[in-house]
């Protein structure tokens, strides 16, 4: 197995479970399950034991690996500089082995089957991929400056569609030259890759690269940080070199130009860093630039932010597979409690998966009266009047 040579070097000291100031548990699965096995160090030791045949393949082992949210907290806080960068790579390699053995949790199996058969986890016809844009008057991509890429959640999920439309609307209003692929777009494959189905990822990515190259795309704006990560960091290895931006980065630069904000009604906002924008790609400032530029908005940080942000629990495919599951100790519920603690009215997000996870958590925590989730573009739109 790739990365097997680093497994024994994990001391299992547990820095990976925590944020940098040690406030609280910051690994979504350890937070939820609490057994040492569900911590990053536990996974390192179990994977080694499994490869050494000290433990056997089992549904429990599969649950332990496929519940990992790939949030990157472990990489950020591991104290061993020589191998920390490969922790998630090792876990993904382990999942790849389990996938090859067919030893995956049922929900992961279903997800991968749907991806394989339908090209999306919603089991909807790919022809409907562009329906999110209906009525917006968006142009198909021809030779515009940017391609706007929305991904599966933006294309099919109700909450994601709302967000995809808000971002598109804003880009259009602000005169950004962009087009969309509509039904031609394919899943970016990020979740497939994180679940260890490398072959399928390869297929999806190559299809996307082909479509993008055929269309002559050079610059891409993504809705989802997950897609941003895959296209920016994984596609070049498969021959797909594009200039990739998350929409918050484009918005951040557009905010510098004078805008006529008609609504400056006071609004208390906090921001939830998406893992694939923050810890995986070190972009912390762009979303904050957007929020800080809005009149009437009082921006407050939660206790855990940026490198220390608590993942919503939707990464690593969990948004679709929900191996982590719900409950009061689920990270999404803890996250919305944190947002409520700083007395925010709006929990700003920049990822369709976070949006959905956190909205559900607000309902579960009965915080609907006090707190609502809004994506950056939605907030900007309300300020424009």
Partner 1 sequence: MEEIYKELQKIVGAEYVSNHAEERFMYSRDMGTMLPSMPDLVVMPDSPEEVQKVVQLANREGIPIVPMGGGLVLSGLTRPLKGGIVLDMKRMNRILEVNEVSRYVLVEAGTSQGMLQAYLKRHHPRLKHSCPDAPPIATIGGNVLIHGSGHLSHAAGFHSDMCNGLEVVLPTGEIARIGSCSTSPYWFSRAPLPDLAGLFMGWDGTTGVVTKLAMKLYPDRPFNDARVFITADPDLVPDVINRLAGAQVGEDLNSAINYRPGRTNVFPIVIITYGAETKEELTWKRNLIRESVRKYIDERTGGFVPFPPDRRKAFLQAPNTMLTQFADARRGGGFEYVGSIMPIEIFGDAYRAGVQISNRFDIVNGMGARVIGLAHCMMFFFGYPFNRADESDVERAREALEASNEAALKLGGIPWKAEAPAQQQIIKHMDPNTFELMNRIRSVLDPKGIMNPGNWEVN
Closer of 106 and 295 to partner 1 (Cβ): 106
Minimum distance of partner 1 from residue 34's CB (angstroms): 6
Instruction: Report the C-alpha gap between 75 and 111 in whole angstroms.
Output: 26
Closer of 248 and 331 to partner 1 (Cβ): 331
Instruction: Report the C-alpha gap between 378 and 380 in whole angstroms.
Output: 5
| Helices and strands (H and E) in the chain: how many | 17, 8
Instruction: Yes or no: say if 148 and 178 are a contact pair by the CB < 8 Å rule.
Output: yes
What 3-state DSSP class applies to 130? Answer: helix
Minimum distance of partner 1 from residue 45's CB (angstroms): 7
* Binding residues vs partner 1 (CB under 8 A): 8-15, 17-18, 21-24, 33-37, 42, 45-46, 49, 54-56, 58, 60-61, 64, 79-80, 82-83, 303
Assigned token pair, 326: 């719900």
Closer of 76 and 283 to partner 1 (Cβ): 76
Query: In sequence order, what are the beta bridge partners of 297?
Result: 267
Minimum distance of partner 1 from residue 304's CB (angstroms): 11
**CB-based contacts of 258, cutoff 8 Å, min separation 6:** none
Closer of 248 and 305 to partner 1 (Cβ): 305
Closer of 23 and 210 to partner 1 (Cβ): 23
Closer of 165 and 333 to partner 1 (Cβ): 333
Instruction: Report the C-alpha gap between 346 and 353 in whole angstroms.
Output: 17
Radius of gyration, alpha carbons of the chain: 20
Minimum distance of partner 1 from residue 221's CB (angstroms): 38
**CB-based contacts of 376, cutoff 8 Å, min separation 6:** 247, 248, 251, 287, 290, 291, 348, 349, 350
Give the H or E element holding residue 201. helix 198-214
Minimum distance of partner 1 from residue 318's CB (angstroms): 17
Q: CA 211 → CA 142, 185, 223, 227, 228, distances in Å?
A: 12, 8, 18, 15, 17
Minimum distance of partner 1 from residue 360's CB (angstroms): 20
Closer of 22 and 123 to partner 1 (Cβ): 22
Minimum distance of partner 1 from residue 23's CB (angstroms): 4
Minimum distance of partner 1 from residue 5's CB (angstroms): 9
Instruction: Yes or no: say if 219 and 250 are a contact pair by the CB < 8 Å rule.
Output: no
Closer of 42 and 240 to partner 1 (Cβ): 42
């Amino acid at each position: 197995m790739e990365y097997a040579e680093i497994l024994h070097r994990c001391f299992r000291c547990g820095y990976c479970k925590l944020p940098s100031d040690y406030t609280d548990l910051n690994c979504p699965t350890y937070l939820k399950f609490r057994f040492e096995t569900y911590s990053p160090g536990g996974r390192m030791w179990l994977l080694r034991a499994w490869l050494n045949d000290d433990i056997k393949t089992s549904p429990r082992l599969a649950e332990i690996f496929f519940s990992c949210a790939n949030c990157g907290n472990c990489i950020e806080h591991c104290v061993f500089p020589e191998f920390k960068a490969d922790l998630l790579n090792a876990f993904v390699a382990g999942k790849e082995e389990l996938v090859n053995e067919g030893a995956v949790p049922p929900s992961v199996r279903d997800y991968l089957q749907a991806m394989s058969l339908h090209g999306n986890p919603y089991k909807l016809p790919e022809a409907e991929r562009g329906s999110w844009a209906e009525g917006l008057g968006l142009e198909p991509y021809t030779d515009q400056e940017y391609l706007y890429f929305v991904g599966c959640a933006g294309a099919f999920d109700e909450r994601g569609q709302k967000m995809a439309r808000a971002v598109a609307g804003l880009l259009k209003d602000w005169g950004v030259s962009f087009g969309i692929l509509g039904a031609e777009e394919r899943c970016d494959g990020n979740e497939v890759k994180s679940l260890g189905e490398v072959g399928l990822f390869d297929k999806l990515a190559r299809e996307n690269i082909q479509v993008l190259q055929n269309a002559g795309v050079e610059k891409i704006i993504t809705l989802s940080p997950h897609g941003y990560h895959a296209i920016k960091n994984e596609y070049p290895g498969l021959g797909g070199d594009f200039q990739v931006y998350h929409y918050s980065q484009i918005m951040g630069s557009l905010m510098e130009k004078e805008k006529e904000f008609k609504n400056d009604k006071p609004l208390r906002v906090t921001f939830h860093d998406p893992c694939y924008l923050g810890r995986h790609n070190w972009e912390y400032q762009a979303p904050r630039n957007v929020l800080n530029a809005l009149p009437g908005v009082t921006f407050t940080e939660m206790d855990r932010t940026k490198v220390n942000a608590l993942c919503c629990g939707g990464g690593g495919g969990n948004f679709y597979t929900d191996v982590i599951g719900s409950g009061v100790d689920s990270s999404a519920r803890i996250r919305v409690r944190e947002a409520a603690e700083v007395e925010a009215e709006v929990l700003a997000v920049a990822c369709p998966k976070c949006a959905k996870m956190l909205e559900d958590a607000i309902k579960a925590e009965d915080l609907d009266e006090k707190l609502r989730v809004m994506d950056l573009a939605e907030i900007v739109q309300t300020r424009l009047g």
